[in-house]
Amino acid sequence: MFTAIFAIAALSTAFGLLLGYSAIRFKVDGDPLVDKIDAILPQTQCGQCGFAGCRPYAEAIAAGEAEINLCPPGGEAGMLALADLLGKEPVPLENEEAAGKGKMIAHIRETECIGCTLCIQACPVDAIVGAAKQMHTVIADQCTGCELCLPPCPVECIEMIPVKTTLSNWKWPFPGAEEHPAAQESRS
Amino acid sequence: MITKNPGQWDFHGGIHRPDCKSLSAGKYLGKVSLPDTLVLPLQQHIGAMAEPVVEVGDHVLKGQTIARVTEYIGAPIHAPTSGTITAIEERPVPHPSGLSAPCIILQTDGRDEWGELPEPLPYFDDLDPSLLRERIRWAGIVGLGGAAFPTSVKVNHGPDRPIQTLVINGAECEPYITCDDLLMREQADRIVEGIKVLLYVVDAEECLIGIEDNKPEAIAAMRKAVAESGLRDVQVVQVPTRYPMGGEKQLIKVLTGKEVPSNGIPSEVGVICVNVATAAAVTDAVMAGRPLLSRLVTVTGEGVNNPGNLEVPFGSFMSHVIEQAGGYSDKAYKLILGGPMMGFTLGDDELPVTKGSNCLLVASREEAPDPDKAMPCIRCGKCVEACPAQLLPQQLYWYARAKDFDKTQEYNLFDCIECGCCSWVCPSHIPLVQYYRFAKTETWALEKEKQQAEDARRRHEARVERLERLERERKARLRQKKEALEKKTASGGMDPKKAAVEAAMKRVAEKKARQAKTEKRSEESS
Amino acid sequence: MKFPVHTSPYGALPNNVTRVMGEVLLALVPGIIALVYYFGPGVLINISLAVTTALVAEAGVLRLRHRPVRPALTDLSATVTAVLLAIALPPLTPWWMTILGVLFAIVMVKHLYGGLGYNPFNPAMAAYVLLLVSFPVDMTQWLPPEMLNEHPLNLAQTLTAILGGGLPDGLTWDTVTSATPLDAMREQLKMNKTISEIAQNPMWGDFGARGWEWVGNWFLVGGLFLLWRKIITWHIPFSMIAGLLLASGLFWLFDAESMPFPGFHLFSGGMILGAFFIATDPVTASTTPKGRLIYGFLIGVTVFIIRTWGGYPDAVAFAVLLMNMAAPTIDYYTRPRVFGAREEDHG
């Protein structure tokens, strides 16, 4: 019996030492988890998740304080990517309706703008150019569609419009769609 | 380094289809009559969209530049005839999406007056090649085989990529199309002139002209023209007829044995491949100083009464062109732009002919039957046998369907030339090429989104930093003020102003006291 | 003028699944006729029973899955599965066994995994194995070939026997049935007889077992037809036969007295049928050209190993199922070189 105990003890010590050595010798420095999560999030900085931007939300997910289904701009694909990364079960999105909308960008109706700079201060990615008493306008390429500029505007001159589909950003539809949807639109 | 025994190699896969070329082969129906209106899309090439250099109301002459591209990859657009610009606006253009795009609308005046043209350059071999490239760029020449890539960019391979072989693509492997065949039969010397210019511009050692063996007249005509030109190291090579022999990579492999690297371009292996019609257009530009204003278009299929080839000025409506080919027969069912393997259907014929329009195939129901529902993939592997790019179409299909775009990249999705061989042989009639097209545009869109998200993150971080910096500066200023205040109070234990006042009062009191003393002394003495 | 739109390529596509399956059925006909000639009409009854059950089962399952029934039935894939299974079964298999096998193949092995194109295992072989393992006695009761058959049964008698009505008077199962050549060979070898002694038995013909060898030949004719029509490629049949011949040949060279001649292996059991019709089932086999060679070769070798040292006399079904499991891995590691692949790409 003692030989058995001795043998098992010796083996476990040996393997333990081997594992410990390997853990140190072959350690792989990976990205911290927060960076990986942040890379998946769409960077809209809209705050719809309840956090003050994408980075705080990423930090909350990494700390286990937030669910992975709170981001409408990321949509289903984003939630699934997060589930895959964290090894969690996919969860249906909180706000299905908001996720379904196509990408919209903000547009200022310049005839109504009074130059108050409130929207400029609200934009989380500085996508609005302008100065006090000067015309304000949205740089379309930089707008993430977060809609944070709409509430502060005192004359409600900002609206969300869908991104225009042109030849350069048109995508082939998933096969199975009967006719080309864009073709139907342009002929109607 | 001259290629020994060109044409001895072969490419993997490919399919055989009845070539249906007898409908229109060798038939020239003449120049299309000038229509009243020409609609010229600003994007008729790969690259950046051209920008108009004319305004509404301008009168333009034939050959005048009406749109330019400032970026490197692009080609200018010229007025195919004289007339007035009546509008610059969005109009439907021939594209699978059916979308509209910005176009210049030209009202023709019927006079067909030429504008001022640059001088012909018959002694081009005395000139710097960059001048000739400029001329090719000015002329708006793009690949006329259908790809429409700006030729001036293609022949600017750069000093670190020497070119050994100039390949001239006369294969025309798609069924039904015969415009290149006609050009080779009737205007072989014009093509050979262009070859002379191109050989000089790219400084190649040899030129190989690949022509499929179903075009014996074209081969004979080109051989005669080459012999008469006295050019050395230029030869016509007959290649077997098999689709897609005319694919750039496939033709280069067959003629030179070299494989263009995956995700690469032919100049990486010292080859440049140009279509016969493009070479002929180069002749016009350099030898005659004329820009690209029209092209040969094959109008064919059982749906037209008089199939053949026509010379069509860009911007002419397809309906107008088809009328000149005898109009629609009662079998007309579908209108296909391009060939039956890589072309796409158009919803209506009120669309302009552009630089890339090589064929209008008006197909009957038999020629283009409606597709039936796809069956599940039975993993037979016929697609693998047929793929000329040696890909695994089956795996690409599974992953594209699952929208796993990492895996599609791993299986070399972007090496797919969308030739359609896989869809053609599939027993389950799965529209395989559609899945790959979908995967490609989705992958590009995802890349773009990722890039935009990256930009948005950086802008956000910059903004957060800026706000924090402003906050820090504000706090620093406040702190400074507070410190200065405390310093003053700490030095005398008293407010300095107060100290000055008290000092002054003390002086006054002392003065008063001295005065009082003096008065008293004077009182006592008197 | 307006036109309908759809995507390229345009034209009447040359291949379709029904035609592929139909030609497979056509290619089986010579072998089936040979089976009927040598072993009586039992196989025809089994085929009819199996095909009917298969079509009914498939229709039922598709309805349960809310899928269209017509295209699936007309693609003939269930028919091919049923016919292959019926050919593999002994001629006097009880009717309920055939039905059980077909139901298992169609419903469980094919449709529960997703239907046509999604099943990882060959349905006919999986069903055969199920029956073999569950009813070993019935599944090894074959008839002797025509030239050695002292009690041939006509159609009516065969039908009665299959439907459970028993045998004609005076006959018992033992008198009517006999072991397959593979079975006989195993038994004799176990009794330590040498090959030369075994070969004296009249059941052995010119190059395999009497009767059986000719059935193999006719299936070979069918297989060559499939190759000519490009329904199958040469990779799997060639490599499977090569694998078997190599393995058995090697051992025969060492010890010709206790190892049967390679030709025996080739023309016994389901080897030819397996090489051309069963292992080439596109859905479950490997798909890359190199992969197919490896897949076929491994099946051939496994057949030899199981036949010589395994528990069952015929091994084609087991070997095929084992290699079905390996097919995805084989595919992954044999990806062909892409056109223009650079040095750094490993595919």
Q: What is the pLDDT along chain C (347 residues), one digit of tens a residue?
A: 889 988 889 999 999 899 999 999 999 999 999 999 888 888 999 999 999 999 999 999 999 988 888 888 888 999 999 999 999 998 888 999 999 999 999 999 999 998 888 999 999 999 999 999 999 888 877 887 777 777 777 888 888 878 877 777 777 777 777 777 777 777 777 777 777 777 677 777 666 677 777 888 899 999 999 999 999 999 999 999 999 999 989 988 887 777 777 877 787 778 899 999 999 999 999 999 999 999 999 999 999 998 888 877 778 999 999 999 999 999 999 998 899 887 654 43
Hey, is the C-beta of B366 within 8 angstroms of any chain C C-beta? yes
My answer on whether A108 and A142 are in the same domain is yes
More confident residue, A75 or B329: B329
Listed residue (A101, A106, A103) closest to A140, CA to CA: A106
Q: Does A23 touch chain C if contact means CB atoms closer than 8 Å?
A: no
Long-range contacts (CB closer than 8 Å, 24 or more residues apart) made by C115-119:
C115/B376, C115/C62, C115/C65, C115/C67, C115/C72, C116/B375, C116/B376, C116/B378, C116/C72, C116/C75, C116/C77, C116/C283, C117/B375, C117/B376, C117/B377, C117/B378, C117/B379, C117/B428, C117/C283, C118/B376, C118/C283, C119/C283, C119/C284
Domain that holds residue C68: 17-333
The pLDDT value recorded for residue B206 is 94
For residue C114, is it within any domain? yes
- Asked if residue A123 is part of any domain, the answer here is yes
Q: Please give, rounded to a whole number of angstroms, the shortest distance from the CA of C298 to a CA of chain B.
A: 20
Dihedral (Cα; B130, B132, B136, B137), 10-degree rounding: 30
Domain that holds residue A141: 102-165
User: What CATH number should be reported for the domain holding residue A143?
Assistant: 3.30.70.20
Nearest-CA distance C9 → chain A (Å): 14
Contact predicate C288/B411, CB 8 Å: no
Record the tokens describing residue C155, joined without a space: 């159609």
Residue of B nearest to A142 (CA): B456
- Measured in residues, chain A has a length of 188
**What is the CB-side half-sphere exposure of residue B227 using CA atoms within 13 A?**
6
* Same domain, yes or no: A94 and A58: yes
Contact B459 A126 (CB under 8 A): yes
- How far is residue C278's CA from residue C270's CA, in Å, rounded to a whole number? 9
| Chains contacting chain A through 3 or more C-beta pairs under 8 A | B, C
Q: Determine, for residues B97 and A169 on separate chains, whether the beta-carbon distance falls below 8 Å.
A: no
Indicate if the pLDDT at residue A174 is higher than 80: yes
CB-nearest to B441 from A43, A45, A171 is A171
Rounded to 10 deg, the angle between the C95-103 and C42-64 helix axes is: 40
Q: Cα–Cα distance between C55 and C89 in angstroms, integer?
A: 19
DSSP assignment of B230-246: T-SSEEEEEE---BTTT
Q: Are residues A154 and A110 in the same domain?
A: yes
Would A19 be classed as within a structural domain?
no
Q: Are B296 and B186 in contact (CB under 8 A)?
A: no
Cβ pair C262, C244 in contact under 8 A = yes
Domain boundaries B21-337, corresponding CATH code: 3.40.50.11540
CA atoms within 13 A on the CB side of A60: 17
State the virtual CA torsion across B486, B487, B488, B490 in degrees, nearest 10.
Answer: 80
pLDDT in the model for residue B525 = 67
Report pLDDT for A100.
53
- C23, amino acid identity: E
Answer whether A167 sits within 8 Å of B98, measured CB to CB.
no
Positive or negative, the CA dihedral C300, C303, C307, C309 is positive
Q: Is residue A154 over pLDDT 80?
A: yes
Residue with tokens 């380094």, as numbered in its chain:
B1
Angstrom distance (rounded) from CA C198 to CA C258:
10
Number of domains in chain C: 1
Q: What are the distances in angstroms from CA B62 to CA B6, B294, B494?
A: 42, 11, 93
Confirm whether A171 is domain-assigned: no
Residues in chain C: 347
A and B: number of Cβ contacts within 8 A: 83
Whether B25 contacts B269, CB under 8 Å? no
| Contact status of B492 with chain C (Cβ, < 8 Å) | no
Residue B50 tokens, joined: 């051209």
CB-based contact C252:C300 (threshold 8 Å): no
* Residue A8 is assigned to a structural domain of this protein: no
The 8-class DSSP code of residue A175 comes to B
The chain A residue lying nearest C4, using CA atoms, is A179
CATH number of the domain that residue A77 is part of: 1.10.15.40
Question: Contact at 8 Å (CB) between B50 and B137?
Answer: no
The model's pTM is 0.83
Contact between C5 and A175 using a beta-carbon 8 Å cutoff: no
Report the neighbours of C using a cutoff of 3 or more CB pairs below 8 angstroms: A, B
Q: B381: which chain C residues are within 8 Å (Cβ-Cβ)?
A: 233, 282, 287-288, 292
The one-letter code for the residue type at C72 is A
Q: What three-state secondary structure class fits B367?
A: coil
pLDDT score at B523? 76
C339 interfacial to chain B (CB closer than 8 Å) = yes
Give CA–CA dist A155/B406, Å, rounded: 46
Pseudo-torsion of CA A74, A79, A81, A83, nearest 10°?
A: 160
Is residue C321, in this structure, part of any structural domain at all? yes
What is residue B495's predicted lDDT score, i.e. its pLDDT? 65
For residues A71 and A106, membership in a common domain is answered with: no
- A128 and A146 housed in the same domain: yes
Using 50, 70 and 90 to split pLDDT, how confident is the model at A179? very low
Residue C216 lies in a domain: yes
DSSP B414: G
CA of B27, closest CA in chain C: separation in Å?
23
Cβ separation A183–C5 shorter than 8 A: yes
pLDDT of residue B492: 55
How many whole angstroms separate alpha carbon C2 and alpha carbon A179?
A: 14
User: Do A61 and A41 sit in the same domain of this protein?
Assistant: yes
Give the model's pLDDT for residue B493: 56
Number of structural domains found in chain A: 2
pLDDT digits (tens), chain B, 526 positions: 788 889 999 999 999 999 899 999 999 999 999 999 999 999 999 999 999 999 999 999 999 999 999 999 999 999 999 999 999 999 999 999 989 999 999 999 999 999 999 999 999 989 999 999 999 999 999 999 988 999 999 999 888 889 999 999 999 999 999 999 999 999 999 999 999 999 999 999 999 999 999 999 999 999 999 999 999 899 999 999 999 999 999 999 999 999 999 988 999 999 999 999 999 999 999 999 999 999 999 999 999 999 999 999 999 999 999 999 999 999 999 999 999 999 999 999 999 999 999 999 999 999 999 988 888 899 999 999 999 999 999 999 999 998 889 899 999 999 999 999 999 999 999 999 999 999 999 999 989 888 888 888 899 889 999 999 999 999 999 999 998 888 877 665 556 677 788 889 999 999 998 888 888 887 776 5
If you search the block for the tokens 């076929």, which residue do you land on?
C296
pLDDT confidence of residue A183: 34
Domain boundaries, chain B: 21-337, 380-511
User: Within its chain, how far is the Cα of C195 from the centroid?
Assistant: 27
